[in-house]
Amino acid sequence: MIQGKNDFSHSEIWSDCLKYLKERVPAQTFNTWFEPIQSLSITEKELFLQVPNKFFYDWVDSHYSDILNKALETVTGFNLKIKYTILLSQDNIKATAPVIDESEKSKPVVTVKSSVKKTGVIEKGTKINKNYTFSNFVEGKSNQFAKAAAMAVANSPGRTSFNPLVLYGGTGLGKTHLLQAVGNEIINNNRVNKVVYLSSDTFTLDFIASIQKNKSTDFSTYYRNVDMLLLDDIQFFQGKESTQEQFFHIFNSLYQHHKQIVLTTDKNPMELKGLQERLLSRFKSGLNVDIQPPDLETRIAILQKKAEIDKLDIPYDVIEMLASKIKSNIRELEGAMIRLLAYSSLLRVDINLSLTKKVLNEIVGSKNYANTTVSIEHIQEIIINNYNVTLDMIVGKGRKKEVAEARMTAMYFARQFTTLSLKSIGLYFGGRDHSTVVHACKWVEKKYSESADFSRKINFLKSELDEDL
């Protein structure tokens, strides 16, 4: 213990606090939640610490405030308070976030004024999430065209043939991210004066409120005078005849004045029931782009980006396991990572494959997952017996058709029935890299869909492996 807080700098005090914490929490917890914190200054009553983001602050404040206070008191011998600041990365926001008194438990909120004037009747503004930008949108084959189209309208609003731009796809695939990225790009570069982003639900509620207050004209005037309209989830217009009628006239006015319109929906607009035909024809006149579920590599990149943004230390093999088991919904994928962090923190254990498996079992259920205990050696044995090849042949460099097929099939089943990473599987097959394993899995899936004989063989091999679970 040091004798007096004024005898040491804030950095020395914090360094001693980190040593105290490192001895008392799991290494994964320390690396994730304490190492990124930086000390800023110290006074007679307070130690000022800087954390990377609001999510980070919320987590540390709710889970580790007691041990942090204990560390500080042990190191200094004084009952100091901890105050936090949040490091902001937006260029247009000063990096001096509000200081938070831990005793008050108040949460920092960064607010950005909207450039859109209020009508005085319908209170609204451009409530765009500043974190939704093109730079942190992870691009893959499933969303490449959608991102390119969104960037095009952001760079030249109202001056492309992509008006309206309609982004459609399932829940949690990034439609709202791209929609708000367009708004952020426009606002940050001052390309137009008035941008409005809102959901179709909010639009409907505003319209109803204007009717109740006999202010329908103000409602219509407000929207006709914007330069860009970003409208989320237009599927909720289905069956709302009066709302559709109002939106139809607003749409026509904006379109005729070359104002940019960007919309999102959960399916192809042509498949929406309960929308007026004339509205559907307007949507069809622009560009409709679908966003598909991301492939494995894109899902891995999304989680890596999330970890990078939130400054989280997540092992690659854990990220790969999460990405390989949650395939259709990015929101669910990110939620699984947060759940994993929660388990690690509350149980005070390191994040590893065993903990990840437990979390995944709760999220996606035990089917085809919890009992995947077949060894890769057993998979190789099954393949060798059914393909009339040797182990040396499938781990070697031979490229004969039968050997190559046996090798790729073995890799495919290793991916399906084990929790090994792509890199680890490749090591079992002569030190091949992860891209070779990915190629093998895609080749098997493609041939399975094209060849009845091959699909019967795969089903037979799978049945043999299923018996061993």
DSSP class per residue in 395-435: HSS---HHHHHHHHHHHHHHHHH----HHHHHHHTTS--HH
How do residues 29-81 score in pLDDT, each as one tens digit?
787 788 889 888 888 888 888 887 776 787 788 778 889 999 999 998 888 88
Query: Among the three residues 41, 69, 101, which one is the final residue of a domain in this structure?
Result: 101
- CATH number of residue 338's parent domain: 1.10.8.60
How do residues 222-281 score in pLDDT, each as one tens digit?
999 899 999 998 888 888 888 889 999 999 999 999 999 999 998 888 888 888 888 888
Q: Are residues 286 and 251 in the same domain?
A: yes
Q: Are residues 160 and 282 in the same domain?
A: yes
With beta carbons less than 8 A apart as the criterion, state whether 307 and 321 touch: no
Q: Are residues 156 and 171 in the same domain?
A: yes
Residue 122 domain-assigned (yes or no) = no
Number of structural domains (the chain) is 4
Q: What is the C-alpha end-to-end distance of the chain, expressed in Å?
A: 55
Q: Are residues 339 and 418 in the same domain?
A: no
Q: 317: phi > 0 → left, psi -120 to 50 → alpha, else beta; which?
A: alpha
Six token digits for residue 170 = 């399932």
pLDDT at 95 over 50: no
Give pLDDT, residue 440: 92
Beta strands in 200-331 (DSSP E): 228-232, 260-265, 287-291
Six token digits for residue 89 = 């990365």
Residue 396 domain-assigned (yes or no) = yes
Domain membership of residue 49 as a residue range: 5-101
With beta carbons less than 8 A apart as the criterion, state whether 153 and 302 touch: no
Query: Among the three residues 273, 291, 309, which one is the final residue of a domain in this structure?
Result: 291
How do residues 445-454 score in pLDDT, each as one tens digit?
889 888 888 8
Which letter, b or e, does each residue of 145-172 get, where b requires 16 or more Cβ atoms within 10 Å of its Cβ? ebbebbbbbbeebbeeebbbbbbbbeeb
Indicate the helix (H) or strand (E) that contains 82. Answer: strand 81-86
Q: 104: phi > 0 → left, psi -120 to 50 → alpha, else beta; which?
A: alpha
With beta carbons less than 8 A apart as the criterion, state whether 204 and 240 touch: yes
How do residues 370-424 score in pLDDT, each as one tens digit?
444 577 888 888 898 888 888 888 888 888 888 999 999 999 998 888 877 788 8
- CATH number of residue 247's parent domain: 3.40.50.300
- CATH number of residue 389's parent domain: 1.10.1750.10
Residue 90 binned pLDDT confidence (cut-offs 50, 70, 90): very low
Residue 106 domain-assigned (yes or no) = no
Q: How many helices (H) and strands (E) does the chain have?
A: 20, 9
- CATH number of residue 31's parent domain: 3.30.300.180
Lowest-pLDDT range of 9-13, 224-228, 324-328: 324-328
Q: Are residues 206 and 285 in the same domain?
A: yes
Residue 201 domain-assigned (yes or no) = yes
Q: Are residues 384 and 456 in the same domain?
A: yes
Indicate the helix (H) or strand (E) that contains 38. Answer: strand 38-42
Q: Are residues 302 and 287 in the same domain?
A: no
- Which 8-state DSSP code applies to residue 120? S
Q: Which amino acid is at 163?
A: N
Mean pLDDT of 134-158: 88
Q: Map residue 48 onto helix, strand or coil.
A: strand
Residue 337 binned pLDDT confidence (cut-offs 50, 70, 90): confident
With beta carbons less than 8 A apart as the criterion, state whether 372 and 418 touch: yes
Q: Are residues 287 and 300 in the same domain?
A: no
Indicate the helix (H) or strand (E) that contains 168. Answer: strand 165-169
Indicate the helix (H) or strand (E) that contains 100. Answer: strand 100-101
DSSP β-ladder status, 38-42 and 46-51? antiparallel
Q: Which residue has the tokens 């899995």?
A: 441
Residue 468 binned pLDDT confidence (cut-offs 50, 70, 90): low
Residue 371 domain-assigned (yes or no) = no
Average pLDDT, the chain: 80
Q: Are residues 248 and 187 in the same domain?
A: yes
d(CA 228, CA 443): 45
pLDDT at 103 over 50: no
Cα dist from 242 to 196, 198, 204, 205, 219, whole Å: 21, 18, 9, 12, 13
Q: Are residues 179 and 257 in the same domain?
A: yes
Residue 126 domain-assigned (yes or no) = no
With beta carbons less than 8 A apart as the criterion, state whether 241 and 273 touch: no
With beta carbons less than 8 A apart as the criterion, state whether 340 and 434 touch: no
Q: Are residues 252 and 155 in the same domain?
A: yes
Question: For a pLDDT cut of 70, what percent of the chain falls above it?
Answer: 86
Cα dist from 185 to 49, 50, 146, 166, 302, whole Å: 32, 28, 15, 18, 21
30/366: higher pLDDT: 30
Residue 134 domain-assigned (yes or no) = no
Q: Are residues 355 and 383 in the same domain?
A: no
With beta carbons less than 8 A apart as the criterion, state whether 37 and 51 touch: yes
Phi first, then psi: give them for residue 309, nearest 5 degrees: -65, -45
Query: Among the three residues 67, 101, 135, which one is the final residue of a domain in this structure?
Result: 101
How do residues 109-139 score in pLDDT, each as one tens digit?
322 333 333 332 333 445 788 888 998 888 8
pLDDT at 108 over 50: no
Indicate the helix (H) or strand (E) that contains 199. Answer: strand 195-199
Residue 115 domain-assigned (yes or no) = no
Q: Taking the alpha carbons of 130, 134, 139, 144 in that order, is the dihedral positive or negative? A: positive
d(CA 459, CA 396): 26
Q: Taking the alpha carbons of 111, 116, 121, 127 in that order, is the dihedral positive or negative? A: negative
- Note the Cα 399 to chain centre separation in Å: 40
How do residues 286-317 score in pLDDT, each as one tens digit?
889 888 888 888 888 888 888 887 777 888 88
Q: What is the total residue count of the chain?
A: 469
Query: Residue 49: which of 59, 34, 64 has the closest Cα?
Result: 34
358/109: higher pLDDT: 358
d(CA 42, CA 49): 9
Helices 316-325 and 296-309 meet at what angle, rounded to 10? Answer: 130
